Amino acid sequence: MSILHFVYVILLVLVAACFQPSHVLAAAQFEDTASPSSYLNNSPCPNAEDIAPCVCTYWDVYHSLDIDCMSIEDEQQLYDVFHANIPDPNFRRLDLGTDNLKTLTDTVFGDVTFETVWTHSTGFYGILTSVGPETFMKSAPTLRELYMPYNNLSNFPFQSLSQYTELTDFVLHDNPVSNFPIIQSENLRYIDLGAATFDIIPTGALDGLPNLEEFDVSSTTSIHSMAA
């Protein structure tokens, strides 16, 4: 190979290195500077002391927050948690213990929003009896799944469900709902009112649910008739 040819090859290599596509360079820079630990160090979770006994988890892969309030002791403590300094009020999931909660008031969650809400009890049943009509209203544009089984809910604002524009799953299994609720929703696909205490499903009660795919009233053995 002549010296001139050798110099020409070297120049081609240098030019190619200088003109790599921008997305390749960006990816290389990202690999050098980003790591799971850097995401965790910048977690948007509130200070642990501010929201105790609730616990916030930041999923760096999905850039989302969960909050576990299974150990909550009373309504005032729950209120204080969600009115603390919360840098990012948008949570993916709330797990809420209902061993010590009787009511969820309209203002208990402040400006915090959720995509999924699960209530739980360390025993078989929680003592939750009432949910306010505005309790989850801040989550009206975000809430997809609302699971509140095995409580003592006889007072639930069914009429507000029409305002939850993303809600697809609604579970109130094994709660003492004595009158079949009239529910209207364009997006609900799954409803579970199994083991309730109503005995009549009015004619046309499901007409306001055009996209309903499954309606579960299993174990509600007292249902015996339809009323006009």
**CATH code of the domain covering residue 51:** 3.80.10.10
Clarify whether residues 180 and 80 are in a common domain.
yes
Clarify whether residues 59 and 131 are in a common domain: yes
- Tens digit of pLDDT for each residue in 133-181? 999 999 999 999 999 999 999 889 999 999 999 999 999 999 999 889 9
The pLDDT of residue 43 is above 50: yes
Identify the pLDDT of residue 152: 95
pLDDT number for residue 41: 52
Domain shared by 74 and 180, yes or no: yes
Residues 82 and 188 in one domain: yes
**Residue 122: predicted pLDDT:** 87
Whole-prediction pTM: 0.78
Are residue 99 and residue 207 in the same domain, yes or no? yes
pLDDT at 26: 31
pLDDT of residue 222: 52
Based on the fold, state whether residues 89 and 155 are members of the same structural domain.
yes
Let me know whether 30 and 51 are in one domain. Answer: no
> Which domain, by its residues, includes 157?
46-227
pLDDT of residue 23: 32
Q: What is the pLDDT of residue 219?
A: 77
In this structure, the answer to whether residues 16 and 81 fall within a common structural domain is: no
What's the CA gap between 113 and 94, in Å, rounded?
9
Q: Quick: pLDDT tens for 73-125.
A: 999 999 999 999 999 999 999 999 999 999 999 999 999 999 999 999 988 89
Neighbours of 126 (CB within 10 A): 24
- Rounded Cα distance, 148 and 10, in Å: 69
Same-domain pairing of 71 and 170: yes
CB 81 within 8 A of CB 94: no
Chain segment 187-219, per-residue pLDDT in tens = 999 999 999 888 888 888 899 999 999 999 887
Which pLDDT does position 17 carry in this prediction?
40
Q: Does 131 map to a domain?
A: yes
- 39 within a domain of the structure (yes/no): no
**How many domains, the chain?**
2
Q: Is residue 76 part of a domain?
A: yes
For residues 228 and 225, give the distance between their C-alpha atoms in angstroms, rounded to a whole number: 10
CA distance linking residue 227 with residue 203, whole number of Å:
6
Mean pLDDT lowest among 11-15, 32-36, 38-42: 32-36
Residue, of 129 and 219, whose pLDDT is higher? 129
Question: For residue 72, what are the CA distances in angstroms to 182, 194, 204?
Answer: 32, 27, 40
Burial 27-51 (b: 16+ CB within 10 A, else e): eeeeeeeeeeeeeeeeeebbeeeeb
**Residue-by-residue DSSP string for 103-156:** EE-TTTTTT-B-SEEEEE-SSS-----EE-TTTTGGGTTT--EEE--SS---B-
Same-domain check for residues 180 and 78: yes
41 lies in some domain: no
